[in-house]
A and B are shown apart, each in its own frame.
Chain A
Amino acid sequence: MNSKVLSLVLLLATGLIGVIYYLSTNSLKNLSSSNAGEMGSGYFPRLLAIILIVLTIISIIQTLLEKESEKIDLGNWKMVVATLILTPIYIFLWVYVGYFYILTFIFLFGLIYIYQVDRKSKKMLIINAITTSVVLVAIYVFFGILLEITF
């Protein structure tokens, strides 16, 4: 994907947010009649929505007028995608199944595992297991005992 396309997609999204946000202010009081000059709860948001829409239009025009468009460097995008797939699964299981410490161990071990180049080496697996265990103990001590957080 190139930067111009991404910019346009995001700007259209922000424009849409601006419109939805503006329409939502209809359900709020915009001007109160009790006191002259007293602005209702919708006044400031409405002002912001208008500014956002105007800025978005300007930015869309600027983007369209850009002559050059650079390609976005996706780097290790596979790892980013893997992380973004694993995270909601981890959170879902944590919220609906429980067993926070076991799940966190598996999640952290899994992330470190997939991030390694020589992930199948025995030495790496041992280092991974030790690291994950140490982090889990630290989480238990700091969050579980000191801050008394129930996960």
Chain B
Amino acid sequence: MSFLDFDFTTLFTLSNLIAIFLGTIVGLIIGALPGLGATMAVIFLLPFTYTMDPVSAVLLLLAAYQAAEYGGSISAITLGIPGTPAAVATAQDGIPLARKESPGKALGISLNASVIGGVVGALCLIFFTEPFANFALRLSDPEFFLLGVMGLIAVASISTKGEMTKSLISVVLGLMVGTIGMDMFTGQPRFIMGQLELMEGLGIVALLIGIFAIPEILRVVKDDLHTQFASQASNLSTKLTGKDMKRIAKPTGVGSIIGTISGLLPGLGTVAAAWFSYIAAKKISKSPETFGKGNPEGIAAPESANNASVGGALIPLFALGIPGSVGIAVVMSAFIVHGIQPGPRIFTKDPTLTYGILYGFLLTTVALYIVGRLLTPLFARVLVVPNSFLMPIVYVIAIVGGFSATSRYFDIWLSLILGLISLLFVLSRFSIAAFVMAFVLSPVIEVGLRRSLLISGGSYSIFLTRPFSLLFLIIIILMLMTPVFRKLGERRKRNKLISN
């Protein structure tokens, strides 16, 4: 089955459409709330997907992810506080433009650029994933093992705040937690500590709520509980003129391409995509001196990039089984919950589901435009709800949601204990993103390693004798050496300055 043979009636079902619109609305709200972000939106909706059919479940999460990326710009523009880390780049010109002209215009540019970025990402996903997957079919276990390791090192090196070793420790801890449960090869229980609930491994929803949601909520309680927000809640119409659209066409195009490519590379994510495209847009702009002073191009580029990166990050998920970002790793867990293993064989194994998701992802951009046009003014007003009300609500819903996924009390305790431990690790700058990615990729990496060694009769030389394996291995070594080279470079510069 090729992508042209897809039966679209299977996509336009009531449950899929409801999932897309519901995901978009929730994603917009959570993305717009400062401090929560796109991954949180996906985690928040994950418990609901257990009872849904797989296509609706994945589309619900993707719609939320896509919408949250735009939602981040609503608070960046109307409050001056970016709702997502990627929206920090948007705020550079979003805030001045909102003050100079109107918040509505800035939001309109953000919405249109986000939608175009989303469409470009979705089209790349539809057209390039299958050829990419066909190529990936030539790869085997040694390459998949190394690709998994490469993805983890990429996330670790980018999500760290100058402490690569701590991020690598986070990766190893994530992989270790991923080994809890029944061994896939022998069926032997591992590290279950006498708890039968752990036979199938740690519940993904309980784990995500514990290590991601609870520390994040507690961090807001610790740092921003009484922060007062003043929203610019007038002039919120997001309608743009033809002249405005013409002006943002070029940076939007550039942002969309950079965003898609950034999404493709595991670990880079939306933040890097937004900043790369902001810098690129400034370089190609006719008026670079107005960047940071309310130039619409400075909003269009990062906004198109962060949405395009969502589609880009889905390409390695479908083609290789390796998620391109932490948010997509959470989406991957919804696949796993439904017994689907993403990877190059998914196109032949489950074509209806695969193309349903790929085309459905395009629909999420349409939903984003409709919901964004209709509800942005409303969301901008909702933002003034104080954190002292909002955080307890999100906290309680996260706990209840964690329970509802499996109806096991064990999972609530697990979330709470993990939440406590994670809070301390976050304070000490360990990387939660690297941990999550490692946990999700743990089975891929273990299976890849053990099968590789089975093929080679226990010899690690298999990673050196296969051309692609060797290439990936060299890339991994270079990635690990980068911080060392950087430090050496900095030292040399410092020495030069001193000697001068």
**A residues whose Cβ falls under 8 Å from a Cβ of B:** 3, 6-7, 10-11, 14, 17, 21, 24, 28-29, 32, 35-45, 48-49, 51-52, 55-56, 58-59, 62, 72-77, 79-80, 83-84, 87-88, 91, 94-95, 104, 107-108, 111-112, 115-117, 127-128, 131, 135, 139, 142-143, 147, 149-151
Choose from B222, B425, B428, B453 the contact partner of A74 (Cβ within 8 Å): B222
CB distance from A66 to the nearest CB of B (A): 10
> Is B188 at the interface (CB under 8 A from chain A)?
yes
Which residues of chain B have C-beta atoms less than 8 A from A62's C-beta? 163, 165
Identity of the chain A residue whose Cβ is nearest the Cβ of B187 in the assembled complex: A41
> Is B499 at the interface (CB under 8 A from chain A)?
no
Choose from B223, B389, B430 the contact partner of A10 (Cβ within 8 Å): B430
CB distance from B211 to the nearest CB of A (A): 14
CB distance from A32 to the nearest CB of B (A): 8
Which residues of chain B have C-beta atoms less than 8 A from A24's C-beta? 191
Asked whether A37 lies within 8 Å of B455 as measured between CB atoms, the reply is yes
CB distance from A132 to the nearest CB of B (A): 9
Docked Cα-Cα span, A71 to B186, in Å, equals 48
> Is B154 at the interface (CB under 8 A from chain A)?
no
Asked whether B407 lies within 8 Å of A28 as measured between CB atoms, the reply is no
> Is B396 at the interface (CB under 8 A from chain A)?
yes
> Is B479 at the interface (CB under 8 A from chain A)?
no
Docked Cα-Cα span, A150 to B404, in Å, equals 8
Asked whether B454 lies within 8 Å of A111 as measured between CB atoms, the reply is no
> Is B183 at the interface (CB under 8 A from chain A)?
yes
Docked Cα-Cα span, A38 to B225, in Å, equals 54
Asked whether A111 lies within 8 Å of B409 as measured between CB atoms, the reply is no
Asked whether B393 lies within 8 Å of A52 as measured between CB atoms, the reply is no
Asked whether A150 lies within 8 Å of B407 as measured between CB atoms, the reply is yes
| Interface of A (DSSP majority class) | helix
CB distance from B480 to the nearest CB of A (A): 12
CB distance from B386 to the nearest CB of A (A): 9
| Interface of B (DSSP majority class) | helix
**Chain B stretch 24-66: residues in CB contact (< 8 A) with chain A:** 48, 51
> Is B400 at the interface (CB under 8 A from chain A)?
yes
Docked Cα-Cα span, A40 to B176, in Å, equals 16
**B residues whose Cβ falls under 8 Å from a Cβ of A:** 48, 51, 163, 165-166, 168-169, 172-173, 175-176, 179, 183, 185-186, 188, 190-191, 218, 221-223, 225-226, 388-389, 391-393, 395-397, 399-401, 403-404, 407, 409, 412-413, 416, 420, 423-425, 427-430, 446, 449-450, 453-459
Which residues of chain A have C-beta atoms less than 8 A from B454's C-beta? 35, 37-39
Asked whether A48 lies within 8 Å of B222 as measured between CB atoms, the reply is no
Asked whether B400 lies within 8 Å of A111 as measured between CB atoms, the reply is no
Asked whether A72 lies within 8 Å of B179 as measured between CB atoms, the reply is no
Docked Cα-Cα span, A147 to B49, in Å, equals 10
Asked whether A76 lies within 8 Å of B165 as measured between CB atoms, the reply is no
CB distance from A17 to the nearest CB of B (A): 8
Asked whether B165 lies within 8 Å of A55 as measured between CB atoms, the reply is yes
CB distance from A13 to the nearest CB of B (A): 9
Docked Cα-Cα span, A147 to B455, in Å, equals 46
Choose from B163, B190, B222, B389 the contact partner of A77 (Cβ within 8 Å): B222
Choose from A41, A59, A91, A128 the contact partner of B190 (Cβ within 8 Å): A41
Docked Cα-Cα span, A43 to B445, in Å, equals 13
Docked Cα-Cα span, A51 to B389, in Å, equals 44
Which residues of chain B have C-beta atoms less than 8 A from A75's C-beta? 222-223, 225
Asked whether A87 lies within 8 Å of B416 as measured between CB atoms, the reply is yes
Asked whether B218 lies within 8 Å of A58 as measured between CB atoms, the reply is no
A37/B407 contact (C-beta < 8 A), A45-B176, A52-B172, A76-B222 known: no
Docked Cα-Cα span, A32 to B176, in Å, equals 21
Asked whether B173 lies within 8 Å of A44 as measured between CB atoms, the reply is no
Identity of the chain B residue whose Cβ is nearest the Cβ of A4 in the assembled complex: B428
Sample of 27 A–B contacts (CB below 8 Å): A3-B427, A14-B169, A17-B173, A35-B454, A36-B457, A37-B453, A37-B459, A41-B190, A44-B179, A48-B175, A49-B176, A59-B165, A62-B165, A76-B221, A76-B225, A79-B222, A83-B218, A84-B420, A94-B409, A108-B393, A115-B391, A116-B388, A128-B389, A131-B389, A142-B48, A147-B48, A150-B407
Asked whether B48 lies within 8 Å of A40 as measured between CB atoms, the reply is no
Identity of the chain B residue whose Cβ is nearest the Cβ of A49 in the assembled complex: B176
Identity of the chain B residue whose Cβ is nearest the Cβ of A3 in the assembled complex: B428
Given contact pairs A7-B428, A39-B450, a sample of 5 additional A-B residue pairs in the complex whose CB atoms are under 8 Å apart: A7-B429, A76-B225, A108-B396, A115-B391, A147-B404
Identity of the chain A residue whose Cβ is nearest the Cβ of B191 in the assembled complex: A24
A48/B176 contact (C-beta < 8 A), A7-B428, A84-B420 known: yes
